């Protein structure tokens, strides 16, 4: 029984789930990405977006940008566990660091004729998408922007003949002159 001598259990405290963008600096060696992905999957955490690239060729250093969601306690646990992995040099929560820039690149293939073709071109122009390929029956557009903007573009293109979508995932960096 709880403090008030009742048989009802204490109310469950529900914490808000927050979306976080983490930048992880690691050694560029075989198996590092698998270990990081295994850390997430082994604990039941989801990765919403994942981008990886070597950033310092001479030192064999890569940057992994991970977008995930969880309570503050879960995010703190993820960061602490990432920090403990041997090939990890630094883990920075870009969301907490302040105002950061996030962009995503997507390629969108749209097929259609007549009014659908005209509408696809109009929407692409409104979003500032570049036309990479054009045939008499299809287009491939390139759009770079925030994840929400890319989502809106893809959803609108679904109505005019969306065929295929390829997205890079989020690339993020903090503003200002200081490194992470």
Residues of each domain in the chain carrying CATH 3.30.70.1150: 101-173
Q: For 59-73, what is each residue's pLDDT tens digit? A: 999 999 999 999 999
Directed axis angle between helix 115-127 and helix 147-158, to 10°? 170
Residues spanned by CATH 3.30.70.260 within the chain? 18-98
| pLDDT > 70: percent of the chain | 98
Fold of 101-173: Alpha-Beta Plaits (3.30.70)
Mean pLDDT, residues 122-147 taken together: 97
| Average pLDDT of the residues in 88-94 | 95
Q: How large is the average pLDDT for residues 129-135?
A: 97
CATH number of 18-98: 3.30.70.260
pLDDT exceeds 90 at position 14: no
d(CA 41, CA 23): 18
Closest CA to 166 of 91, 109, 96: 109
């Amino acid at each position: 029984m709880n403090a008030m001598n009742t048989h009802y259990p204490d109310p469950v405290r529900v914490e808000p789930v927050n979306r976080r963008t983490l930048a992880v600096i690691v050694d560029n060696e075989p198996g590092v990405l698998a270990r990081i992905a295994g850390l997430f999957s082994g604990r039941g955490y989801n990765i919403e977006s994942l981008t990886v690239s070597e950033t310092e060729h001479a030192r064999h250093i890569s940057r992994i940008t991970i977008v995930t969601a969880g309570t503050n306690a879960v995010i703190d646990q993820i960061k602490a566990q990432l920090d403990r992995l041997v090939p990890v040099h630094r883990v920075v929560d870009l969301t907490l660091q302040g105002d950061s820039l996030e962009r995503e690149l997507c390629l969108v293939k749209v097929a259609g004729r007549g009014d659908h073709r005209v509408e696809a071109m109009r929407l692409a122009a409104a979003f500032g998408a570049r036309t990479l390929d054009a045939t008499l029956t299809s287009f491939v557009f390139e759009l770079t922007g925030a994840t929400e903007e890319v989502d809106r573009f893809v959803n609108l293109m679904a109505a005019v003949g969306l065929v295929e979508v390829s997205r890079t995932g989020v690339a993020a960096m903090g503003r200002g002159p200081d490194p992470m």
